[in-house]
Chain A
Amino acid sequence: MLLFIILFFSSLSQAERVSNILSAPPIKFMHGFRFGYGYTNIDPAEHELLHSKWLYLIGYELNQKLLGGDWIDVIFVENISVVGLNQSLFIPSGNALIGFEFHDSFQLASGINFVPTEEPFHMVVAAGWTPKVGDINIPFHLTYIPDVHNHWRMYLTTGVNW
């Protein structure tokens, strides 16, 4: 363990000096709305609230883009949504993701999904395309939330951010 710690910190201290190492890469901040439809692999007959496997989603999200200066950037996404309004349900949901954006258009990210249920935390994976339309961006994303009990969920969303 001691050897590992020594190696870890010595690596940091001996790392090649970059001219602008003390200045963080530029960060671009964005925010906007998102809405879409989802499917959950839960049998409504076995669930006390669900009447259908289909769920409408609407939410608000924040994006931070760590600009790499080339074809790839790092993205952070925080999203809060309400799910199930098509069934008159008001299920809050939160997501925090980290991932990459390629060529300022395509995104791939994963992170944590939170829904206040018996098993609140799940993994979430999202991928999609965000074309820039004038001053705004119109994202299209496919989101997948796996579940060990096979109660997975999938959402197709769009929206606007700026």
Chain B
Amino acid sequence: MWLFITSILSAHTLSQNKWNHNISLGYQYRTLVPEESFLSSHCSVLQYSGVFTLSGTGGVHAFVEPSMGIVGLNQSILQPSVSMILGFQLGNSFTIGSGPTVSTRDDQENTFFPQILIEGSLLLHVDGSTIPIKFGYVPMSYGLTQYQLTIGYTWN
């Protein structure tokens, strides 16, 4: 415990880190499983995320992106999910990362269903704004796989 605390307190402060906010909306295809109440595989997605970028040099940066979202509004379903992506930003244009994503279910015994999310994005820079186009993939687990395409807006 002492090592944990002293390491965190003593680790040097990054000189060029930044915290951005992002809101994205888009489309998700997810396989139908009996544990969920979706009637169609085609779902809408609305997502908010924070993007903490750890600046490196040579065009490689690292980032941590916790996010929360709701899926299925087009079917009058509001299924929340959270995720946390760890990854790398290559230059100013591309990111790739992966991390856990957890969605909720009506099942009393297994309310939270964890999976992994692999995400890549193309960052468009328009008039000083950043427009990320993200593609997400959740590998199949217990019959559920997800593909997601979103477009968003990132601000400081």
Interface residues of A (CB under 8 A from B): 27, 29-31, 33, 35, 51, 56, 58, 62-64, 76, 78, 82, 85-90, 133-136, 138, 159-160, 162
Q: Is B113 an interface residue (CB 8 A)?
A: yes
Task: Please tell me which one of the listed residues A51, A78, A90, A160 contacts residue B86 in the complex, with CB atoms under 8 A apart.
Answer: A160
Contact B4 A78 (CB under 8 A): yes
Task: Please tell me which one of the listed residues A29, A133, A134 contacts residue B6 in the complex, with CB atoms under 8 A apart.
Answer: A29
With A86-B139, A134-B57 already in contact, 5 other A-B pairs whose C-beta atoms are closer than 8 Å: A58-B86, A87-B141, A134-B55, A135-B55, A138-B60
A133–B54 alpha-carbon span in the complex (Å):
10
Contact B54 A31 (CB under 8 A): no
A-B contacts, 13 listed (Cβ < 8 Å):
A31-B8, A31-B11, A62-B7, A63-B7, A64-B7, A78-B7, A86-B116, A87-B141, A88-B114, A134-B57, A135-B16, A135-B17, A135-B54
Closest B residue to A63 by beta carbon equals: B7
Contact A85 B64 (CB under 8 A): no
Question: Which residues from chain B contact A133 at a C-beta distance below 8 Å?
Answer: 56-58, 60
Closest A residue to B97 by beta carbon equals: A35
A-B pair count, CB < 8 Å, reads: 90
Contact A88 B64 (CB under 8 A): no
Q: Is B130 an interface residue (CB 8 A)?
A: no
User: B34 CB to closest chain A CB, in angstroms?
Assistant: 15
Most chain-A CB neighbours within 10 Å: which of B3, B62, B98? B62
Interface residues of B in 98-132 (CB under 8 A from A): 98-100, 113-116
Closest A residue to B9 by beta carbon equals: A29
Question: Which residues from chain B contact A89 at a C-beta distance below 8 Å?
Answer: 114
Closest A residue to B110 by beta carbon equals: A88
Closest A residue to B54 by beta carbon equals: A136
Question: Which residues from chain A contact B7 at a C-beta distance below 8 Å?
Answer: 29-31, 62-64, 78
Question: Which residues from chain B contact A138 at a C-beta distance below 8 Å?
Answer: 56, 60, 62, 88
Interface residues of B in 48-107 (CB under 8 A from A): 54-58, 60-62, 64, 86, 88, 98-100
Contact B3 A62 (CB under 8 A): yes
Contact A85 B15 (CB under 8 A): no
Contact B58 A29 (CB under 8 A): no
